[in-house]
Chain A
Amino acid sequence: EAGVVQSPRYKIIEKKQPVAFWCNPISGHNTLYWYLQNLGQGPELLIRYENEEAVDDSQLPKDRFSAERLKGVDSTLKIQPAELGDSAVYLCASSQTSGGRTDTQYFGPGTRLTVL
């Protein structure tokens, strides 16, 4: 069974440019997460989707970050415009939620963003 797929793996951009990350979750998982991981830190949740609905986006900096999961499968996370401080690893994870309970989250390989 394929795991969580993310692309690109690496991205280098200049500040003020836009950037987008793509995630394909494990087949059958209805819940999808985007996390931000700064160097030397643990991942921090940016947004959580259950199917198409963003059920927790309280940590997403909405002035420059946006995300979508239009058909309840793939998801895209966008930053526009990027700032130097956005350099980090962006991780996607997926899990199965049913009856209000969430199963274990499985993570993708991440996208390492460098903003110059």
Chain B
Amino acid sequence: AQKVTQAQTEISVVEKEDVTLDCVYETRDTTYYLFWYKQPPSGELVFLIRRNSFDEQNEISGRYSWNFQKSTSSFNFTITASQVVDSAVYFCALSEVNRDDKIIFGKGTRLHILP
């Protein structure tokens, strides 16, 4: 079965702190993609990253980094030196090649960065 679990419903940190958002997924397929999207108060889902199942290299983009570990079925997202503009709901998602790349989203983690 396809499933994405974001156990952290809501997180609050003070500006400049580092924060990690957890994502655990379930899939029976060997070929799949993992995603992170950001949804600020304006409502638009902003694409952050897509990672395929054969690429376990960690990714860094500015203050954002992602840790993909197939052994634990996790795809965690870390924001370093958080800023108030990082406040948003963050969604982890999974798509499987054998399911026509249909995306299944987690329930999201609401992140509050306090000034």
A, B co-complexed: yes
Chain B residue, CB-CB nearest to A50: B100
Determine if B100 and A42 form an interchain contact, defined as CB atoms under 8 angstroms apart.
no
Q: With A41-B108, A42-B93, A42-B108 in contact, is A105–B43 under 8 Å at CB?
A: no
Q: Which A residues touch B102, using CB under 8 A? A: 45, 48, 56
Q: B66 near A: Cβ within 8 Å? A: no
Determine if A109 and B43 form an interchain contact, defined as CB atoms under 8 angstroms apart.
yes
Interface residues of B in 56-115 (CB under 8 A from A): 91, 93, 95, 97, 100-103, 105-108
Determine if B107 and A56 form an interchain contact, defined as CB atoms under 8 angstroms apart.
no
Q: Which B residues touch A109, using CB under 8 A? A: 42-44
Q: A112 near B: Cβ within 8 Å? A: yes
Determine if A105 and B44 form an interchain contact, defined as CB atoms under 8 angstroms apart.
no
Q: Which B residues touch A3, using CB under 8 A? A: 44
Chain B residue, CB-CB nearest to A109: B44
Chain A residue, CB-CB nearest to B108: A42
Chain A residue, CB-CB nearest to B33: A104
Determine if A105 and B42 form an interchain contact, defined as CB atoms under 8 angstroms apart.
no
Chain B residue, CB-CB nearest to A106: B47
Least CB distance from A110 to B in Å reads: 5
Distance A45 CA – B105 CA, assembled complex (angstroms): 10
Q: A107 near B: Cβ within 8 Å? A: yes
Distance A91 CA – B103 CA, assembled complex (angstroms): 14
Determine if B100 and A89 form an interchain contact, defined as CB atoms under 8 angstroms apart.
no
Distance A102 CA – B103 CA, assembled complex (angstroms): 11
Least CB distance from A45 to B in Å reads: 6
Determine if B43 and A41 form an interchain contact, defined as CB atoms under 8 angstroms apart.
no
Q: A108 near B: Cβ within 8 Å? A: yes
Chain B contact residues, CB within 8 Å of chain A: 4, 35, 37, 42-47, 50, 91, 93, 95, 97, 100-103, 105-108
Q: With A45-B102, A91-B45, A102-B100 given, name 16 new contacts (CB 8 A).
A: A42-B4, A42-B93, A42-B105, A42-B106, A43-B45, A43-B105, A44-B105, A56-B102, A93-B45, A104-B50, A105-B47, A107-B47, A109-B43, A109-B44, A110-B43, A112-B43
